[in-house]
Amino acid sequence: MQSPLTTSARGLELIRSFEKFEPKAYLCPAGKLTIGYGHVIKASEPHLRSKTLTQGEAEALLRDDCRTVEVYLSAVLPDWVRPHHFDALVSFCFNCGVKAFDGSTLRVKIKQGDRQAAQGEFHKWIFSKGRRLRGLVVRRACEALMFAGCSDSTIETERRRLEALKGPL
């Protein structure tokens, strides 16, 4: 059996840039109790509800969460997927969940080998509880650009442009 692909430093940085370090538990926009770099606290982790994390502990949780996604994606993605595709998809699955990706048109387009259509699918995932969220619009744009193989400077330029816009995105 081939070992799972892993998220690159670039992919981890993309996730961290959207999942700001929070040492104490908080409710994310989806209403889930979260801590660290976007780690959703599980029922089996009641100690995290009152804990204050160090950045090192948060980093360990992030890497564990990514590892779960990496194993899944390594099993379902086609051979043509390259590190930039993989990193974008880890960020997406980290945020939306493996279950959401598993039943998505994004996965179907990837399976069909239609990279351009797959890239366009990221932009559909900008809602939480029926509300369009600016942060998700920006995140999906960055993930789509990473998926397309764009440079970090291109992704950052587009991120800054979108974040600077006033009004709804």
28 belongs to the catalytic site: yes
19 belongs to the catalytic site: yes
Supply 84's token pair: 């930039």
Q: How far is CA 110 from CA 33, 39, 75, 102, 139, in A?
A: 31, 26, 13, 11, 19
| Catalytic residue chosen out of the listed positions 22, 28, 57, 59 | 28
Q: Is 138 exposed, middle or buried (0-12, 13-18, 19+ CB in 10 A)?
A: buried
Q: How far is CA 92 from CA 45, 54, 58, 69, 147, in A?
A: 23, 25, 19, 10, 10
Backbone angles phi, psi at 54, to 5 degrees: -85, 165
What residues act catalytically?
Answer: 19, 28
